[in-house]
Amino acid sequence: MNVTIFPTGKGGVASAVNYLLSDKDHEGKKRSIPPEILSGDPNTFEAIANATKRLHKYTSGVVAFRDHESVTPEQINTVIDTFRSTFLPGLELDKNFADFWVMHREKGNVELHFLVANTELVSTQQLNIHPPGAKNIAFFNAFSAVMNDSFGFAQVVPDPLKISLKPFEAKSPNGKKDKKAKGDFATVLHSEIVGGFITNRNQLIGYLTRNGIDVAKVGSDFLTVRLPGQQKNTRLKGPLFCKDSDYAELVAQHHQSKIPKYLTQQEAQEQKDKLVAGIEARLAFNVRRYLTPKPRAVRAQQLVSMPFMAPDRTRPKAVEPPPKRMADHLNDHLRSLKEHAAPKPPVSTADLPHQVARRQTDQEQAALLPSIGNAAQGGLEAQIGSLSLQYHSLLLLLAGAKGKRATLLKSQIMALEQKLSALNLELEKKKAQTPEVKLPDI
């Protein structure tokens, strides 16, 4: 499961509402399963969002589950409630904010599309659930991490190649606009990098130039290019476009992102602590900005008249709930997710991937406690585990590789073998120096 915020929200909201409810998808094809309204009234939401004179009238996004991730109707309702209490804490639906939720299922997975009006209904001030900045990105990432862990889903691991190559999916060489041409170019560029034919930024620039893409400016951490068919330049930022990027490491991270990752108990608690801290900070902001009475006269409102609603504009004295209440509230939602999970055939939960990962890490951490020597040993074991995953991924790729790509993969495998051999030797030395600690039975 992952949350994506779309770069939309300017102008009227009618087009966004119409798309969510349309029986055709973004390619104009008829949806095999019609959209389903989960919460909100489209006409009321449209009137509220359009009532402001501000340019940014709404925020649009989606909570998307992967193909193999199944959820029950009760869990979907809990996800929506948790989303609201996380990113709009202290505010009440229909009193302080308005939103609209629609479910799409025609792709084979569940997608919960949402629109949130960028206006707090009592004060009429701007309301932004997704402000710019790294802190907000980390807040949303913590939400996804905690929700995936509660569902028992694998974590979303960023793929540096997928992120960096996204702009090239918009246009393709020679200005072709059909989907196949766009996809073909992105796929070929991806293959060139993964296959080792493009190993640094200079080679990437040469490849782009040969394929009809004008590189207008080269910065330390970006490229400015003119993509075919576009009238303006596009600035490309990301790992691939940095001057000193290690392309071999980026390819390794790309392969690593394909391996399911589950949180250990310690990691899960750290993410939950981050999420609670983010909720508390946003609650304090909402109380201060929207729920605290102002001593001076209220400024002229930016909203036009809304005859369809007459909100209560009286402001009660703000009382901020204690921090513990926010954590308890979050735990209630997470508990509800597990209680309403779809029944599954009985299996040994001890052998589930995230339980195995968690058990192994907990055993490692138990062994780390007695001495500093064990701490070094645990660090070596973690490095060996990570490199082993990369090693086996490269072996799988080598099975279908030929020519130059096979040669490159073999050299990478040999380098990993040497590194693993050195680390294993060092680990054996550490074990010989460290007294053996008997672990309790689990």
DSSP-based three-state secondary structure for 243: coil
Q: Residue 351: its pLDDT value, please?
A: 46
Q: Residue 230: its pLDDT value, please?
A: 74
Q: Which of 358, 372, 354, 338 is nearest to 266 (CA)?
A: 358
CB of 111 within 8 A of CB of 6? no
Q: What are phi and psi of 215, to 5 degrees?
A: -90, 105
Q: Which of 122, 421, 102, 112 is nearest to 298 (CA)?
A: 122
Mean pLDDT of 56-65: 95
Distance set, CA 320 to CA 161, 271, 283, 295 (Å): 44, 23, 8, 19
CB of 66 within 8 A of CB of 310? no
pLDDT at 151 exceeding the cut of 80: yes
pLDDT at 404 exceeding the cut of 70: no
CB of 190 within 8 A of CB of 161? yes
H or E segment at 237? strand 234-237
Out of 186-195, 222-231, 355-364, which region has the weakest mean confidence (pLDDT)? 355-364
Mean pLDDT of 362-371: 46
CA atoms within 13 A on the CB side of 234: 20
pLDDT in tens, 324-352: 576 777 877 777 776 766 665 544 444 44
pLDDT at 378 exceeding the cut of 90: no
CB of 315 within 8 A of CB of 291? yes
Quote the DSSP letter at residue 360. Answer: H
Q: Residue 347: its pLDDT value, please?
A: 40
Return the structure tokens found at 292: 């605290």
Q: Residue 130: its pLDDT value, please?
A: 96
pLDDT at 358 exceeding the cut of 60: no
Mean pLDDT of 207-228: 88
- Average pLDDT for the chain: 80
Mean pLDDT of 408-416: 73
DSSP-based three-state secondary structure for 301: coil
Q: What is the pTM of this model?
A: 0.67
Query: Could you tell me the pLDDT band of residue 366, with boundaries at 50, 70 and 90?
Result: very low
Mean pLDDT of 245-271: 89
CB of 251 within 8 A of CB of 194? yes
How many other CB atoms sit within 10 Å of the CB of residue 173? 19
H or E segment at 147? helix 134-151
Q: Residue 157: its pLDDT value, please?
A: 87
Residues in Cβ contact with 377 at an 8 Å cutoff, skipping those fewer than 6 apart: 367, 368, 427, 430, 431, 434
How many other CB atoms sit within 10 Å of the CB of residue 79? 24
Q: Which of 33, 55, 51 is nearest to 43 (CA)?
A: 51
pLDDT at 399 exceeding the cut of 80: no
